[in-house]
Structure 1
Amino acid sequence: MNNWVWLALACAVLGLAYWISQALPRWRFERAMAAPFPDHWLPLLQRFPFYERLGAELQAELRRKVQAFLYRKRFVGCEGLEVTDERRVLIATEACLLILNRPNTLYRDLKWIYIYPSTFRSRQPERDEAGVVSLPSGDLLGVSWSNGRVVLAWDSVKHGYVDFEDGQNVVLHEFAHQLDQEGGVADGAPLLNSRAAYGLWSQVLGREFEELQRAVQYGHATLIDSYGATNPAEFFAVITELFYERPVAMQATHPELFATLKSYFQVDPRDWQAPAT
């Protein structure tokens, strides 16, 4: 057998190996997605007050996305915290709420979710606008990094689903950062579907961000949490929390901002609110 034949055989083997390396993960994923949604997960979704009001179509989509999310992401318990199905499903449900009803990558770059029992301190260096690198100070409830990691404090996660109407939710906040980071640096502008959309986004969110900064500077009370005045990335994360948890109040006080987020997220959370009594 001459060298050309050996070379052809080697190329064929390498080609087959590459095909298997690409096809096998897809086959495993498709097999996992073909399995029924686990019965013991459904009561966990039903803990959220919005779930029963989503309607059958969005409920089914949420279940599919939760199933895919939990197949592809890895959870790590920190400081002795056990990673249970309860914790995984509750976090996945809120993360997938942000990607309902629209094209998405299922947080493609996100690989790991770390859960601490309570507040924690970040060991990830951060670079400020002047280029100075330092470790964040103070206790944290959550962190979203662009290197495929989200870190959450479980007691804050639990507060988020127990009270889903106070406008504060660490999972929604950190996964809004993940959406923001899909466009590169976290700058308060996630991937949008057109150049015109970026213009409107910049106009509306830029104006609202500046108004919030002025309100905070003069000590005025605002519906939008003052932490949103930190920078545009935090502003987007904070208003995402508000959009999903207090949509009626947000639409009443910030109608243009609400409409811009409604266009981006392609849902109207007002439809999921409990009827007024």
Structure 2
Amino acid sequence: MIETLVVLVIIGLIVAGILIYPLLVRQRRSRLSHRPFPPLWAAIVENHLPIYSHLSPAQRRQLQGDIQVFLAEKQFIGCAGLQITEEMKLIVAAIACLLLLNERESYFPKLRSILVYPSAYWVNETTSVGTFLVEEKRVARLGESWSRDQVVLSWEQIKHDTCHWNDGHNVVLHEFAHQLDQEDGQAEGVPVLQNPSDYRTWAQVMTSEYQQLCTDVEHGRKTVIDRYGATNPAEFFAVATETFFEKPQQLLRKHSTLYKQLQQYYQLDPIQWT
């Protein structure tokens, strides 16, 4: 009898914890997001995020709040001797949190650590070259997103991207779009959508646009969306996200259906910021 009572108490505590913890997280995030944003931080963000001054006052306030939650919850680690500064953290957080301006409030739930290298870094990559053969080679990378708990970035590339905002390339936007895609545990170019009915439309639009990009790349045609997006559907979503935020007018003109699909997903219209 006593043992049964103890088990029931333990189960009750576990259930209570499961119910209470999300509420505590929301309360903590609310406190963080409503803190006054330090003027020095605002100056850093404005100096390194070209579209910041074009955001509406409400969007700037939300971005500031999201940045404060992001910085409180994510760990930054400098690699290869790089010393992480407050400015570095703010720049990465500001760009990444642009993807959260639709009040997603999930804050990349699987992400724990952001590893930053001074420049491009080398990794061992293994590929299959036959039924029983694999090939290992060293490749240079500027960033990558792990489905478990990490994003890896090149600081040199981040600096280049902030100075060339309209070129359609942005390693932070790219890798954090992968994080959105990987929230359900798979990297397949399909992030978590608001309604179950949205998935059919998403599949139709994204598949058609991906196939069109593959065809254009195969025939050597010039494209608004970077050719790297033809690698696979996951890379297509990440590259399309870069284009959506950095070259919205060109994307709307050349791929209006894709633009409207991303506009619905992010609930933003970057053309207003140009």
TM above 0.5, yes or no, is yes
- Which 5+ residue runs of structure 1 have no aligned equivalent? none
| Inter-CA distance 136–15: structure 2 relative to 1 (3 Å threshold) | same
| Inter-CA distance 217–71: structure 2 relative to 1 (3 Å threshold) | same
Partner of 2:265: 264
Contact 1:118 1:141 in 2 (8 A): yes
Distance 1:189 1:112 in 2: 23
Matches within 5 A, 1:117-136: 117-122=118-123
Partner of 2:202: 201
- Which 5+ residue runs of structure 2 have no aligned equivalent? none
Partner of 1:44: 44
Contact 2:205 2:261 in 1 (8 A): yes
Distance 1:7 1:210 in 2: 56
- Per the TM alignment, residue 160 of structure 1 is displaced from its structure 2 partner at its CA by 1.2
| Inter-CA distance 15–218: structure 2 relative to 1 (3 Å threshold) | closer
Identity over the aligned pairs, expressed in percent?
Answer: 39
- Per the TM alignment, residue 195 of structure 1 is displaced from its structure 2 partner at its CA by 2.7
- Per the TM alignment, residue 19 of structure 1 is displaced from its structure 2 partner at its CA by 11
SS of the aligned residue for 1:40 comes to helix
| Inter-CA distance 202–82: structure 2 relative to 1 (3 Å threshold) | same
Distance 2:80 2:127 in 1: 23
Q: Which amino acid aligns with 2:265?
A: Y
Contact 2:216 2:222 in 1 (8 A): yes
Q: CA RMSD in A?
A: 3.3
Partner of 1:147: 148
| Inter-CA distance 18–95: structure 2 relative to 1 (3 Å threshold) | closer
- Kindly tell me the number of residue pairs found equivalent between the two proteins: 271
The TM-score with structure 1 as length reference comes to 0.85
Structure that is richer in strand per residue: 2
Distance 2:16 2:195 in 1: 40
| Inter-CA distance 125–63: structure 2 relative to 1 (3 Å threshold) | farther
- Per the TM alignment, residue 221 of structure 1 is displaced from its structure 2 partner at its CA by 1.5
Q: Which amino acid aligns with 1:198?
A: Y
Matches within 5 A, 1:179-218: 179-218=180-219
The TM-score with structure 2 as length reference comes to 0.86
Structure that is richer in helix per residue: 2
| Inter-CA distance 38–132: structure 2 relative to 1 (3 Å threshold) | farther
CA deviation map 1:48-107 (0-9, x unaligned): 221111111000000000010000000000011111011000000010001102323110
